[in-house]
Structures are given as C-alpha cells and as structure tokens.
Chain A
Amino acid sequence: MDIIKLNGVFVRYNTDWVLENIDLTIKEKEFLSIIGPNGGGKTTLIRTIMGLNEPEIGELWVKEGLRIGYVPQFTRFDRSFPINVYDTIISGRLSSQIKAFSRFSTSDRRLADETITRMNLGRLKFKQIGRLSGGQLQKVLIARALVAEPDVLLLDEPTANLDAENKEEIYSILQEYNQEKTIVLITHDLEYVNDKKREIMVLNKKVIYRGETPQKHELACINGDMSGMINRSAEKDGGNDV
C-alpha cells in the first residue's frame, strides 16, 4: 500500500532549484536507500516529506495519520548540551499540543525504557550525550525517533563517520525494525546497498535511477560521479552485478 507520494515536485532554496520534477512513491514496509552526490537534494527530499520544506511546484501526498520518525545526522548536534540519554529519548514522546504542568505518562516512560532495552542502551541511560561515542549518539537519536512509534523512519546518513562495527549494528537494527516499519535511508554506504540488493534511488536534483541495486545496463543512465561510485563498489563485491 502506498503511504507517501510525490508528483512532479520542485523545491528551491532562494534562486537555486534543489529538487526538480521528483516523482516518488513509497510503499508500506519498504526499505528505500537514497544515494547521490553531496548537494544532490537528498536531505531536502526527506525534509520535504516531513513538511519542513514546501514544494514550489508539484504535490506531496502523505497517508492520513501516518506517523513519521526522523533521525538527523548526529554530527550537527552541540554535544556540550546538558542532557542525558534518557531525557533525549523520552523527548520523542512530547505531545504536539503544549500543556502547562503536564508530565510524561507511565506509558511514555515504559515505551522509553523498552526502546532503551531494545536498542541495548541500558548501561548508558543516564550518561550525558557529550560523553557518548558517535555510534552511541546515533543509536540514541534512532531510539528518540522510535519511541514515538512511527510508521516510517527517515534517516539522514545514520552511518556517516562511524566505523564498520557500528555501521553493521545500525544496519541490523534497521533491518529488524523494517519487519514492521517503512525505512527511508540516505546513505553513502554503497557496499551495504549493493550487498543487500536493496531498493535504491539515485538522486542528483532529479531522480536518476529508482529500482533494485543497479545492473550494468542500467548504470548507463546514471551519469557523473555516482556511476563511478557504484561501479567501484560493485566491483569490490565481485563485479557481476554491474
């Protein structure tokens, strides 16, 4: 079942078009990886889906009542901010209606604890975020998104700047959650995308490619840097796919 649709969407910052004529359909429980060069509009695309950017032209349709969770890049955070893991995660349960003197309910706290356990963050629960490693903070941000029980999880390069072990852990968490949720992921990890024969989208302002990990003949339509990146990555995996 379709849950998100973009029809001929154009988005611009000031005078520069960042997205041009984007047609995109995302289905329930899909696992879509978005790849593309820097400045190719990947972050803008997921910001548009969340309603943070307005399409200048075209239409965005989101299934009524769809709950969207977002995991931003952990590198943009001020790590000196005085907040611990638990408070960061439970902030995902804040209701959109601000009510004075309201507190987190028992079910909010239970959900936060369950998510912390499921993400294996128990021993870090009261640690300040400034004392976490990049991988740990990334898991905390994923937990903050998951605690709101979203139907779709949008992640902006969750594995950037992480070592192989942390990357593997993040991907296996996403794999597990994909059993019940839709995952849309911006990534540069082409090895991973190729390995899993994932549904991918190559974005460079326009949709350059959409489908399973591209085959040799399909790469003909992927121009510029992306073609090189995908080729190299696929060759490392044996080269048969390209």
Chain B
Amino acid sequence: MMFDLIMNYRFMQNALISAILSSVICGIIGTIIVEKKLVSMSGGIAHTSFGGIGLGYLLGIEPLIGGLLFALGASMGISYIKRNTNTNADTLIGMFWAVGMALGVIFIALTPGYPPDMTSYLFGDILTVSQSYVKVIAFLAVLVIVVIGSIFQYWKGYLFDDEYMRILGINTIMLEYLLYVLIAFSVVILIKVVGIVLSIALLTIPPAAAKIMSNNLKGIMSFSIIIGCITSVGGMFVSYYFNIPSGATIILLSIMVYFILFIFRKLIPAKE
C-alpha cells in the first residue's frame, strides 16, 4: 500500500526523496551543530529567516529566498560581531532571533491583500514539496557531502580544538564562515520539511540519538542519517494516514527513537 502511494502520487515521490535528502543534510550538519555546541545559534538563524520570508511576501519574491538571505546575514552577523566586540554569542543570538521574528510579523502585516498563511513556514509540510524544490535539496545534499567529506580531517580537528588548528596556521575563520553558511542553507531548506520552529529538532535529535550508538564522528553522522531517514519517511506516512501535521509527527517519531535507543543502551551497555 505504501508502495502504491509512492508509485501513484507525484507529491508522495517528492516528499519521500526530500525526506531522505534532508536526513542526509541533517545527519552531517546536525552532528557538527551538536558537537560544536551551535544548537542555539542554529535556532537563532532559523528564526531570523522568518524576517526574510516576510520580506519575500512583501516584495513579491520567493519567500524562501528572502529567508535564505536573512539566515546568511544572521550567521555571518553573529559570527562577525562575536569576534569583534565583547558581546557574548548567547545575547547576540537572542537579539537576532527576536528581531527576525518581529520583522517577519511587520513585513507580513504590510503585505497588501489577504495575509498569507504562515503555518507551513512555521511548522512545515513535507507533502507539499515541489519537484523543483527537491532539486534544490539534492544540490545542497551534494554540496554538504563534498564540503564536509573532502576536508573531513580538518573539520574533525576544528570541532575538537579550533584554537590548536589556529596555532597550526590553519584558517579557522574561513572554516567557521563556511560552516555557518552551510548551517544557514540547511536550516532554510528544512523550513519546507518541518518548519522554522521544528527545524532545530531535526538537526539535533538524530545526532543525539546516534551518539548513543557510536563514538566516532563518521559513525555518528552515518547513524544520524539512518535515524533521520527512518523517522522522516515514517513520519511522512503516519501523517498521511492519520491526516496529522507531518513536521510535528517526524519530530515526535525522532524523540521516540531517541528514547528507545537510550533504554536499549541502558540495558545493553556498549563494549569498551
């Protein structure tokens, strides 16, 4: 029956492919976010993008392009201001977060005509993903695999001890900006899938669950991709059959997997 659904409905094919591709992106970028402790930073980027989505509506351009520009601005801005002033990152993230949301609300209020429904941006809807959007996700997935995979040893060194990498003469500022750009792209891409509010969950729950099963960076990324695939594809079907919101279903399934693995590991401890 699942097979029939996929074979017969184009929107189901798009949803399935985007679920798998976003799991790849989340598995890799999410692991980095969790290990580098950039969870609140990523939440800040996601919420700042709401301002860009509002601006997109106001100017009559694709809202996600506006969202992406705001997300990139937030990631670069937080990094730059943190480096060049004594404001701490936590405070900056809070400010960007709130300003982004506030701008979004104002831009949408200023948009002429009937106000657009923002629910799909806030909470996502994987079943409405278009074919051209699937191509964008595919491009980003390939980009993430190449950028992270081609200099994996450097990323590992940077995540573990960026100061030491700096002492070795490695351009860690470039690595940091590159990482923040990838986070901004990933967060915006995920808006269609699970929405602004829940995107951070999809980036953090699978890696957290994967870390229960593996203790090396590549292993965590791989498990995280598998867990992401299971929960997002599973969530997609559950939401279709029960007619409930897909983003929230995917997140709740991820949390279930986390707890199942947590209990499993308590009962059967990992070998030394």
Contact = CB atoms under 8 A, between A and B. Distances in A.
Given A81-B35, A83-B160, A98 B214 contact: no
Main secondary structure of the interface of A (DSSP, over half): loop
Main secondary structure of the interface of B (DSSP, over half): helix
Contacts of A148: 168
Contacts, number: 66
A40 interface: no
Contacts of B35: 81-82
A99 B150 CA distance: 8
Interface in A84-125: 84, 87-88, 91-92, 94, 96, 98-104
Given A83-B160, A91-B160, A100 B168 contact: no
Nearest to B218: A82
Given A52-B167, A82-B211, A82-B214, A101 B150 contact: yes
B211 A70 contact: no
Interface of A: 14, 50, 52, 68, 70, 72, 77-78, 81-84, 87-88, 91-92, 94, 96, 98-104, 128, 130-131, 144, 148
Interface of B: 35, 37, 86, 150-151, 153-154, 156-157, 159-161, 163-171, 174-175, 211, 214-217, 219-220, 272
A98 B167 contact: no
Contact of B170 (A96, A101, A130): A96
Contacts of B37: 78
A33 to B, nearest CB: 21
Contacts of A103: 153
Contacts of B220: 82
A94 B165 contact: yes
15 contacts: A52-B166, A52-B167, A68-B167, A72-B163, A81-B160, A82-B217, A83-B217, A91-B160, A91-B164, A92-B168, A94-B168, A98-B151, A102-B151, A128-B215, A144-B164
